Structure 1
């Protein structure tokens, strides 16, 4: 399960659009409180194949596979790069938040350690 931010980065859409897709059932989502969590497997269902030309000359953008698959068209290479880039940006944001939380925890533990050291010294000299 991923957040709306991660999904929006992967698909190149806004977070608002992702939330709309969740509420309309276009994505497999679960709402916990105010936050939507999206199943990663449902992201492929949102991808749309664009059709170019009139009905006579209409062709699909992309390269067709010879063997049948869940998607009949290959995605353009740049789309895959954009998608991967979005995923990596989301991962970096997650790691930055985790690092910040760990720094705060270290600072709190150092403060507790300092307090314990000073209280021990104070008790020693009270006698």
Structure 2
């Protein structure tokens, strides 16, 4: 069994992105596109051409930006607080999983409750 902090470190690598975050982003993109196409009575190529980039810009792009932000925040917290941050990950007080990163941008602001000073 691996530690939660090691899993979080692996998540923010290129391989971790493609194996963990990209499937979550792809599922949400396909799900929303399915809802859009299902709700259109007579779908034309033009409507699909408008809907797909719109869904990409509204759903997938923000998830990717949250992933990038979460990765930089994870590294910053690890450097600034070291073992205190690692202990919070191990205890489960801060959850860094593919779903929490892609949908909520974790570690997000959850660390503020537990770590007193942050830059």
Task: Give the TM-score taking structure 1 as reference length.
Answer: 0.28
Greater C-alpha Rg: 1
The answer to which structure, 1 or 2, has the higher relative contact order (CA under 8 A, 6+ apart) is 2
In terms of fraction of residues, the more strand-rich structure is 1
In terms of fraction of residues, the more helix-rich structure is 2
Task: Give the TM-score taking structure 2 as reference length.
Answer: 0.29
